[in-house]
Amino acid sequence: MKHVLMTAAALLLPTTAFAQTTPDAAPIALSPEQSEQCITMMSGFPDDSPESRYVFFRLAQELAKDVTPELSTLMAQYMVENETRRLPADTPMLDVIEDIADPVLRQAAPEQTVAGMAHIAYFNALCGQFVQGQVDSLLAFNPDLNATNIAIREDALYLRQILAESLDRLGASQNMAAQAYALSLVIERDDIEYIGFEDEIGELETLFMGDLDTKLARSNDAVNEGMDVDAFQDAVTLANDMNDQAREQAKGERLWTLVRILGGGG
């Protein structure tokens, strides 16, 4: 793991940056140094396809969800108490996310998970404009990328649960900020499952309607075929009647001719 010497000001930087970024706040103009820092932090993001880039940018956004200023302060507090150095400000996000997902690291050093999530919150607070710009551009290129949002939220929820577990292991179970964060995970899980349930119901409805349409089409074909058979039978009956009539008329004409011949009529 990469570390630098920690100072109180540096440690509380994620909290300060987050507090400045609210949904109603105007975008914060970044200095050239901050812009360069964001570019460095985004280094290593996938660039092999729009899909993989979209997934990673959206994952970075989702990981910072519900990280309130109070939770940022709590994370800073536990980093101080466990003498955990804050990650370098320009640590690439890819490295941070990989470390959080590492099962060995999260079991052996929960404080490092806290440091990693604090870094992600700082990244989103500082570079959120860059990230949202990338997301918007990718969606404009391919609107179908929205279809991956539920899977992204599920992956983010898994990593966010690791943070909640790490805080609990560090003794924050009774802290209101930690409890609020744990509750937000339950709400997120319910929301994801509800959306998944709606999608499954929609798929079942589509399958049912498709099956119903197929059966109705088959029924209509059978009715139409039945109507064609009836019409054919009527046509055959009419043709037979006409043939019988024609044969009777021809037979009558032959008999009349024979009578005339035998009778010597002119």
Asked if 74 contacts 103 with a C-beta cutoff of 8 angstroms, the reply is no
Q: Is residue 179 part of a domain?
A: no
The range of the structural domain enclosing residue 127 comes to 8-173
Q: Is residue 187 part of a domain?
A: no
* pLDDT band at residue 176 using 50, 70 and 90 as cut-offs: very high
Q: Is residue 162 part of a domain?
A: yes
Quick check: 95 pLDDT over 50?
yes
Average pLDDT, the chain: 75
> Structure tokens of 26?
């105007």
In terms of Cα–Cα distance, which of 117, 85, 90, 78 is closest to 101?
117
State mean pLDDT over 49-72: 89
Contacts of 251 (CB under 8 A, 6+ apart): none
Amino acid at 198: E
Quick check: 214 pLDDT over 90?
no
State mean pLDDT over 57-84: 85
In terms of Cα–Cα distance, which of 37, 146, 160, 32 is closest to 91?
37
Quick check: 140 pLDDT over 90?
yes
**Percent of the chain clearing pLDDT 70 (strictly above):** 63
Q: Is residue 25 part of a domain?
A: yes
Q: Is residue 200 part of a domain?
A: no
Task: Please report the pLDDT score of residue 15 as a whole number.
Answer: 36
Cα distances from 265 to residues 48, 50, 250, 251, 258, in angstroms, run 107, 104, 20, 19, 10
Least confident of 21-25, 101-105, 172-176, 178-182: 21-25
Quick check: 136 pLDDT over 90?
yes
Residue 44 CA to residue 46 CA, distance in Å, equals 6
Q: Is residue 151 part of a domain?
A: yes
Q: Is residue 104 part of a domain?
A: yes
Task: Please report the pLDDT score of residue 12 as a whole number.
Answer: 32
Give the number of domains in the chain: 1
Task: Please report the pLDDT score of residue 219 as a whole number.
Answer: 64
Q: Is residue 257 part of a domain?
A: no
